[in-house]
Each structure stands twice: as structure tokens, then as C-alpha cells.
Structure 1
Amino acid sequence: MCYSTALRKKKEQIEQSLLANFDADFEIPLEYLPYYHLNGFTHGNLYIIKMDEPEKIYPASWGLVPNWALHNPEGFRKKSNTLNARAENVFERNSYKDIAEDKRCLILSDGFFEPHHENGVSIPHFCYQPSKEYPEGDLFLFAGLYNELDDELYTATIITVGANAFFAEVHNKRKRMPLVLADDLFEDWLDDGMNQPQLNELMAYGFTSQDFKAHPVTREIYKKGIDTNTPRFIAPVDKGTLF
């Protein structure tokens, strides 16, 4: 599962990082603000690239609202958690099956948080993909689904899969991870010609081969009523990098 993410880069850095694969610009540039910690349960904005407009980056409220719940999004979200969609049943669940074939998206991120359990205590870990240019975490793209909430207002969910060896050590209880796509599969994920078997295979084997790192961060991130959108909440605690 993935219920908290980060996107710390400036708009210009994001657009530059995407150039190898997309000439994509923010459709509403003045709305974008970088963030260190976005709690999915606040339904704040993720930033997505849609199948039908790969040249644009749109904000999308985190927590997908399916077509049959559009008349009452708030009521739906009180009863249903659609922050994540399990790859194994995405074509079966009522919330996703009608859109999985034609409303896929890529979701921008440069970090996310996963719980690691020790002696019954949940220790949040910040997970990121270092590079030479961005040792603190490069841009990567989750596989996701989206739906229209209204005219140019979108909602989205992040696809999750069974954890690989690294993330099974980090997320050692549920052993899940968000599907961070390999760069050479971005276009395939957005391709409207992909059928269900092809998409299932992509989700099963499409996780990036780029290395991730993870370190423990303060458990204050779990507290309510405090501002967690600051650099302090991605900083390593004294325990240091475990994995």
C-alpha cells in the first residue's frame, strides 16, 4: 500500500526530467506547489499524465471516485478507500474495472512512505530513488488510474503490487509496494491498444530496475493536527538508513 507521497521538485525541474520520455507541461502551472509529505486521506492533489493527453500534467485528487459514485464523491470516500488499486484484481473490483482499460495514467513522485514494523511498532520509512543529479531522490512515475470528477477535475489511484525483495524488508507486514514503472514501459501503460492480458503482464513485471533507498523518519508523521509538509518529515532519524 502507498498512502503518503512526496513531490519536492520545482515545476521546471519536473518538466526537464520528463523530457527523455514526454514533452509534458503543467496544464495549470500556478496551482502546482512542491510537497514533502502528502497524506492520501486528505485527498490532496497528485499530478498525473493521462492516456489521451500525454503532453499535459494535470492535478488529480488522490482517491479515485468511480462513475457510479460521481453524484456523491464525499459519501463514497467516507465508505471506500481507493487511494490504491491492487494490480491482482483491478479488472474485477467495481471501483476500477470500468476504467482500467481506457483511463490509465502516470503519477509523478520523487518519494513515498512505507511502514516498517519492529516489535509491534510501526516505524515510517521514506523511500526514494537516488541519482547523480538528484541524490536526495529523482523523479519517477507510478502506474495509476484516473477518472473525471467534473470538467477537467480528476481523481486518481496508485496501482500496487506484491513487494520485491527490497520492499518486502521495508514494508515487512503487508509486503506491498506501489508500481513504479520502468522508463521503457511508460508508453505501453498509456497505450490504448493494450488488452487485459498484456496489462496484467505489465503490472506483474513492470517495476523499475533502478535502485531505491529507504530510511526511517520521525513517527510524528502519524500525528494528527500538525503540519507534516516540511523537510523535517523526510529527514533520517538517528537510527540511520536500515536498508
Structure 2
Amino acid sequence: MCYANALRKSETEILATKEYLRITSIAPDAKYHPTYHLNGFSHGNLYIIKMDDPEVVHPAAWGLVPHWASHNANEFWKKSNTLNARAESIFDKASFKDSAESKRCLILSNGFYEPHHVNKVSTPYFCYQPSKEYPEGDLFFFAGLYSELDNNKLSATIITTEANDFFAEVHNLKKRMPLVLDKNYHEDWFDDGLTNQDLNELMATGFTNNTFKAHPVSKDIYKKGIDTNKPYIIEPVEKDTLF
């Protein structure tokens, strides 16, 4: 599960990233602005790089809408949760199969939220990838799928996989994690010559080797009517319980 994302980088920082060297621009219609907390169920924009346009960052509504529902995304979202796609079944699920074969993407992030459970009580944890240059969280890329809607807009989903040891401790109930793709596999993810078996093997082994950290944050993100797209929402609330 990954139902909440953050992308706190400026446009200048995104274009300067060395993680994916071919980024040259952000699409003019993106209306890009940094975010501290994007709730997936709002179907706001993720920012993606498409396999057929790898130099440009595009906006994509969070929640992949398959081609047969592209004329009415809102009706599809009322009935279906496609914020995430399980790596183990993307070639079996009708909603994802076509995109898995020909519309793969990388999704920009520098932090996301996962629930941690103690005595049946859920606490949100902010997960990020610190670096020497950006100790508060460097840019990384989820493996994702996208689709094209009838209004010339895009939709997208984040691929998830079985949690590794670290994320099994953080997301300790469902034990899932978003597939943060190692930079050495970015080009491969966009290779239209790979078979389904090749892609399954890539997803099974392609999680980044870079270190993640996580800490508990405010439960405001679980509440309605509160603007949580603010810097405070990523701040730790219990400094003695960090992972």
C-alpha cells in the first residue's frame, strides 16, 4: 500500500537530478508545485516520466483508469481503487494489463507515508531516502503504470511489492511497500523489448539499495477538513521511535 505521497522538490531541483539524466523539462500543463502530503484518494496529480517521452515530466491523476473507462474517470474511481498495482498480478488484472505491457512510467517522489500498527492503533510514518546533499530526503522514482484519458490527460498507479525487512517493520500489518526502482533499472523499465517474464524478474529484484528512514508523524493526515499539505506534516512526533 502507498496511498499518500510527497514531492517537496522545486522544479529546478527536479531538472537538476542525476538520478534520471534525460529529464529536460516539466510539461507546461503540469502547473507543478511541491507537495508535503498528497492523499491518493483525492486523485490529485502525481508527476511521471512516460516510457515514450522520457525527457519530460507529466502530471497524471493518481488512480489508473483503464481505457474502457477513460471517458469517465470519476465514475470509475467511485467503484475501483487503482492507486496501487500489485507487482505479482499486473499482467493478470484487466485494469493494468495493457499499461503493464506498453505504458510503464517512473513516478517522482521524495517521501511517502505508511501505516504502522501497535495494539490495533495505526500511526502514520513518513518514509524518505536521505542523502549527503539532501538529508531531509532525496528524489527517487517509483515504478508505475499510466493510461491516457479521453480529455488528453493521464492517470497513473504506483506498483507495490512484498515488503523488505525494513518496510515489513514499518508497514507491519500488510507488509507491502511501493517499488522504488533502483536507478540502474530505469532504462530497463522503459525497454519495450522486455517480455512479461523479464519485467516480473525486474520487479522482483529492482528495489533500490539506497537506505530509507522512517518516523511517526501527525495523525492529522487521517482527519478530514484539515489542510495537511504543510511542512509540519513530515515532522517526527515521537523521536524515540524512529526506524
| TM-score, scaled to structure 1 | 0.97
**Could you say what secondary structure the match of 2:16 adopts?**
helix
- How far apart are 1:71 and its partner, in Å? 2.6
User: What corresponds to 1:212 in structure 2?
Assistant: 212
**Could you say what secondary structure the match of 2:159 adopts?**
strand
For the pair 1:86 / 2:86, whether they are aligned, the reply is: yes
- How far apart are 1:68 and its partner, in Å? 1.0
**Could you say what secondary structure the match of 2:146 adopts?**
strand
**Could you say what secondary structure the match of 2:97 adopts?**
coil
Structure 2 unaligned residues grouped into runs of 5+ = none
Structure 1 unaligned residues grouped into runs of 5+ = none
- How far apart are 1:224 and its partner, in Å? 0.4
- Pairs within 5 Å for 1:183-194: 183-194=183-194
Distance 1:29 1:129, change over 3 A: farther
Give the 4+ runs in structure 1 shifted more than 3 A: none
For the pair 1:233 / 2:233, whether they are aligned, the reply is: yes
Q: How many aligned residue pairs are there?
A: 243
Report percent identity of matched pairs: 64
| TM-score, scaled to structure 2 | 0.97
**Could you say what secondary structure the match of 1:224 adopts?**
coil
Tell me the distance in 2 between the aligned counterparts of 1:85 and 1:48: 16
Q: RMSD of the TM alignment (CA)?
A: 1.3
Which AA in structure 2 matches 1:75? Answer: E
**Could you say what secondary structure the match of 2:189 adopts?**
helix
Moved more, 233-242 or 33-42: 233-242
For the pair 1:69 / 2:81, whether they are aligned, the reply is: no
Tell me the distance in 1 between the aligned counterparts of 2:64 and 2:30: 24
Alignment deviations for residues 185-236 of structure 1 (CA, whole Å, 9 cap, x no partner): 0000011111100000001110000000000001121000110000111000
- Pairs within 5 Å for 1:44-193: 44-150=44-150, 152-193=152-193
User: What corresponds to 1:24 in structure 2?
Assistant: 24
Which AA in structure 1 matches 2:208? Answer: T
